[in-house]
Amino acid sequence: MAITRHLRVLDCATEEGSMQHNVPRGLKVAFASADMRHVDQHFGSAKAFVMYEVDLENAAMTDAVEFGALDQDGNEDKLDAKIEALKECAAVYVQAIGGSAISKLARIGVVPQKVQPGTPISTLLEDLQEELRAGPSAWIARALNTVGRESKENLGRFDEMEAEGWND
């Protein structure tokens, strides 16, 4: 099953914000949620994911991806679109998840987090921020290191382009 809708929220309140929307500012996490307020979906049959970027002080929704209704039928093909949608995330919070989905997520560096059905996303975001403040766990530290390294690599690429000069 392919993505049926993908909403991306850009910070365009200022000209500076419109230029900065692709620069990672925090940890990006996803939640399997049909109502966009609670974790209420199994990974394989999730109708949608809502994604947030989280740092010490802020949590902002960045994306909402909808897949439509899916059964928990063991059909592995339906996982591909979900895996692709999560490639920029450090973690995905779900009610439940199967072994093959865990393996596919591990290949792209996404950590599945199983939570109680109906857990409010706002609570999970607050808990994540608290963990960031207190000293991140191993998976969060790895994810933050990756985000920081990618940011530096992107900035270095632009410095190289500037040094080469612009030719129109």
Q: Does residue 2 carry a pLDDT above 90?
A: no
Residue 77 is predicted with a pLDDT of 65
Q: How many domains is the chain partitioned into structurally?
A: 1
Q: From CA 120, how far away is CA 142, in angstroms rounded?
A: 25
17: confidence class by pLDDT, cuts 50, 70, 90? very low
pTM, rounded to two decimals: 0.74
Phi and psi angles of residue 27, each rounded to the nearest 5 degrees, phi first? -90, 130
Q: How much is the pLDDT for 125?
A: 97
Give the position of tokens 């996803």. 30
pLDDT in tens, 110-167: 999 999 999 999 999 999 999 998 887 888 888 777 654 454 444 454 455 556 655 5
Residue 36 in this model has a pLDDT that exceeds 90: yes
Q: Using CA atoms, how far apart are residues 114 and 133, in angstroms rounded to an integer?
A: 22
Per DSSP, 135 falls in state -
Q: Domain range for residue 16?
A: 5-164
| CATH code: domain of residue 77 | 3.30.420.130
